[in-house]
Homo-oligomer: A and B are copies of this chain.
Amino acid sequence: MDRILRINMGAEGGPKARVEPLGEYAGLGGRGMTSSIISREVPPLCHPLGSENKLVIAPGLLSGTGAAMSGRLSVGCKSPLTGGIKEANSGGQPAQVLGRLGYAAIVLEGSPGGQDLYKIVINKDGVRIEADNSLRMLPNYDLVNRMREQYGDRIACISIGPAGEMKMAAASVACTDPDLRPSRHAGRGGVGAVMGAKGVKVIVLDDTGFKARQPKDLEKFRDANKRFVEGLARHPVTGQALPAYGTNVLTNIINEAGAYPAFNFKGGQFEGASRISGETFAELETKRGAGPTHACHRGCVIRCSGIFNDRDGKFLSKQPEYETVWAHGGHCGIDDPDTIAMLDFLDDNYGLDTIETGVAIGVAMQGGIAKFGDARAAIDLVHEVGRGTPLGRVLGAGAAVAGKVFGVEKVPVVKGQALPAYDPRAVQGIGVTYATSPMGADHTAGYCIATNILKCGGFVDPLKPDGQVDLSRNLQIATAAIDATGMCLFIAFAVLDQPDTFQALLDLLNSFYGLELTADSVAALGKNILTMERDFNSRAGFTKEHDRLPRFFSTDSLSPHNITFMVKNEELDRVFEW
């Protein structure tokens, strides 16, 4: 990982690749890499779909090594959804493969002049960029099957579906899992639209002939990894809940807490919650011959992903994540697991962020386009997105645009990005993260649910404003750092609660790179990333007035706690004072 692969899609005579040394970007990985390149090289006021924007794809610092959980990929750009800087993060195989191929980043630059659609193949023979218009408008699953036929089973793919080709602001970048399913997505912020604007349909990676990256101190690295894996196994969230039920274990928990935003944030509990809970899904999955315990990349020991078969025992989709189950489920008043799994599949196949798409559908329901609870309508609407009808394009442009188009007042977005599955009135900490993250509303940017609800890393009362700013600040800093390592964010549960697991993580980094990082240097890394991101956003025109939740969270109270979001604006403005 000592090189950057830059591909100028707008070069004279057709796209051209060039390999560069890391230079000023040495020592960076994942979100640290993407946000550095975007922040330094992209004009903040450029059009996100224009030639001045760049799409940066970066494995983390430990990706491609033998470290467990190190398979996260960062995808960065100026977001077509928010207009600000974006890092969207995905599991799957590509980060590991890219790391072994030796690339710390792929940077797609410029814009192709014509209408051609390109395929990029990176393997032991180098980098090949080919126009292949036969791929046009292929859904992700068909596309990956086609690549498998051409390039064999050892590949990993990074691709866009029709949504990305149509440059929709809800378009994702898909990554294949170990079974070559394009089911892991860098979902948020429209990164797929930027890949589409670059004219790149798929990047095919094959690390045949390459070895795992070697640590400076192999023995220490192995020892650290052992302690790290043991720590993850020991913690109840990473060792039990996530493998048994996946992230959807949260449906019952969040609903119990009265923080489940039902019917477009109308109430904090959903009657149908138990019918779409992780427990229900796991039982169904097992009964139908699949199951809830599956790794999204080789080297994952938590195995929170899963497989959902249909009634006939045939693969329907991956096990939908909690936020997907919410966005397509309770948010729209839908409580049928098969419908939700189908919607999950359609989103993956068309290449859509499940959160943005589901929330946009709920906003459209609020605007009268369909009835809440109408499962058939929801499926039809996602097909409209995939076909690119005018209605589909509205939904594919995300919840904020859908709200504007349908004249809806209650639109749950911050910086133009849809709020995920936790109502900030009943989990005040996550409200601080939604409001202030440079990414727009994003639960993963500082997952206060951990401490507000799951009581990991201590406990801060979710129903009171006190302590939430400090909590969100600390988690946003820690998250930015973890997002730079290539580590799955879910390690945070064990790392927050178990000092020896945190030490094992530091030891992994130190033994691999020959460093002497401490907790302080990790915090410094996180702060550095957030500072760069906020600086970009500031130059793009963002102010403290953009670090606010929509006003209805402060004016309309949420059942059953009858509570509003109470963290004051002046408090929100203190999040980045460190």
- A residues lining the B interface (CB < 8 Å): 43-47, 49-50, 52, 80, 166-169, 193, 196-197, 369, 389-391, 393-394, 396-397, 401, 404-409, 411, 539-543, 545-546, 548, 550-552
Contacts and interface: CB of A to CB of B under 8 A. Distances in A.
Q: How many copies does the complex hold?
A: 2
B409 A393 contact: no
The 3 closest A-B pairs by CB, nearest first: A167-B407, A541-B545, A390-B391
A44 B551 contact: no
Given A394-B390, A394-B393, A551-B52, A168 B545 contact: no
21 contacts: A45-B545, A45-B548, A47-B409, A47-B551, A47-B552, A49-B407, A49-B408, A50-B551, A169-B404, A196-B407, A390-B390, A390-B405, A393-B394, A393-B405, A401-B401, A401-B405, A405-B405, A540-B545, A541-B543, A541-B545, A542-B543
Contacts of A541: 542-543, 545-546
A451 to B, nearest CB: 28
A551 B409 contact: no
Contacts of A166: 407
A364 to B, nearest CB: 9
Contacts of A540: 545
A308 B482 CA distance: 67
A390 B406 CA distance: 8
Contacts of A196: 407
A552 B397 CA distance: 22
A148 to B, nearest CB: 29
Interface residues of chain A: helix, strand, loop or mixed (majority):
loop
Give the interface centre of A389, A390, A397, A552 by most chain B CB atoms within 10 Å: A390
Given A401-B404, A539-B545, A543-B543, 9 more contacts: A47-B411, A47-B552, A50-B409, A166-B407, A369-B390, A393-B405, A394-B394, A394-B405, A397-B405
A550 to B, nearest CB: 7
Given A390-B391, A394-B394, A543-B541, A47 B550 contact: yes
Contact of A409 (B49, B397, B407, B552): B49
A46 B549 CA distance: 11
Nearest to A164: B407
A247 B389 CA distance: 38
B545 A44 contact: yes
Contacts of A401: 397, 401, 404-405
Contacts of A389: 390
A552 B51 CA distance: 11
Nearest to A546: B541
A396 B401 CA distance: 12
A479 B550 CA distance: 34
Contacts of A546: 541
Contacts of A193: 407
A80 B405 CA distance: 11
A377 B542 CA distance: 38
A201 B560 CA distance: 37
Nearest to A407: B167
Contacts of A543: 541-543
A361 to B, nearest CB: 13
A390 B360 CA distance: 14
Nearest to A545: B541
Nearest to A47: B409
A192 to B, nearest CB: 11
A406 B393 contact: yes
A408 to B, nearest CB: 8
Contacts of A550: 47
A405 to B, nearest CB: 5
A45 B545 CA distance: 8
